[in-house]
Amino acid sequence: MELLKAIVLGFIQGVAEFLPISSSGHLAIFKNVLGFDTDTGLLFDVLLHLGTLAAVFVVFWKDIWALIKEGLAIIGQFFKSLFGCLFKKQKWQPVVTTPYRRFVMMVIVSTIPTGIMGILLEGAINAASATLIVPGILLLLNGVQLLISDRLPDGALTEADAPYGKALIVGIAQGIATFPGISRSGTTITACLACGFKREFAVKYSFIMSIPAILGALVLELMDFSPEMLSGGDMVNYLAGTLVSAVVGYICIKTMLVVVRGKKFKYFAYYCFAMGAFAVLFSIFA
């Protein structure tokens, strides 16, 4: 792979993964309009995912570290309570006792429908990605939801009191966003705001809940991985693209924190309208 192509794809991954403009929709447009080869190969796909995952970890490392500790504490408390019930005739002790333990459970609840929908809709998603008009129409719809997001009132729910049912709704929204043209970050943040989440928490929740989704994609890709993929002479270019995706992803996450607080999704909505209209018109008249 050429260095320039690796950098361009790393930039697209970092920008479109976190800004509410749909990375898959843009890749479809690049592929169908410009004839740009978006088939990066398995190894580079994995590295790009690792780059964007690194950006999430850097921005939210304190929250993620707390979630890891509380997640392990949940497992420990579960077996401790189970042992007490079975062998000591004790009453069941609550497991989810802190806000961050609730946060862990919310992420799990949101991930379940996303995974199920990803498996069931895989064929439809691949078919949509092979066209230009479907991503174009979905980009137009994505712009509409971004305008709606700016008009939603500020909520107050956080990890301390958000119901699990609303976490399920956000997970369904993330599953829908697997279609090309629908932004994952824009859709999940809009769903969070519609459910009454606090704006700052909506952004944090949206990006942290992306971690299981990205890890799931990595696992699926690594199932087809073989050591021979490491022997190519493209490793330096791959690493350059990965670094670009991580740095650009970090900047875009920080940008989203400001955008959501300032209710400035409308600018991304106008961009999605322009790109969506272009894709639809090109597919009709080209």
Per-residue pLDDT of the chain (286 residues; tens, 9 = 90+): 578 878 888 888 888 788 898 877 877 777 777 666 655 555 677 777 788 889 999 999 999 999 999 999 999 999 988 888 888 778 888 888 899 999 999 999 999 999 899 889 888 988 888 888 999 999 999 999 999 999 998 899 999 999 999 999 999 999 999 898 999 999 999 999 999 999 999 999 999 998 988 787 777 666 666 666 554 557 788 888 889 999 999 999 999 888 888 888 999 999 999 999 999 998 888 7
Which of 15, 74, 4, 18 has its CA nearest to residue 210? 18
CA distances from 107 to 74, 75, 95, 163, 193 (A): 14, 15, 16, 12, 16
48, 218 contact by CB (below 8 A):
no
Query: Quick one: which H or E segment has residue 187?
Result: helix 184-194
Query: Quick one: which H or E segment has residue 72?
Result: helix 61-87
pTM for this entry: 0.88
d(CA 51, CA 43): 12
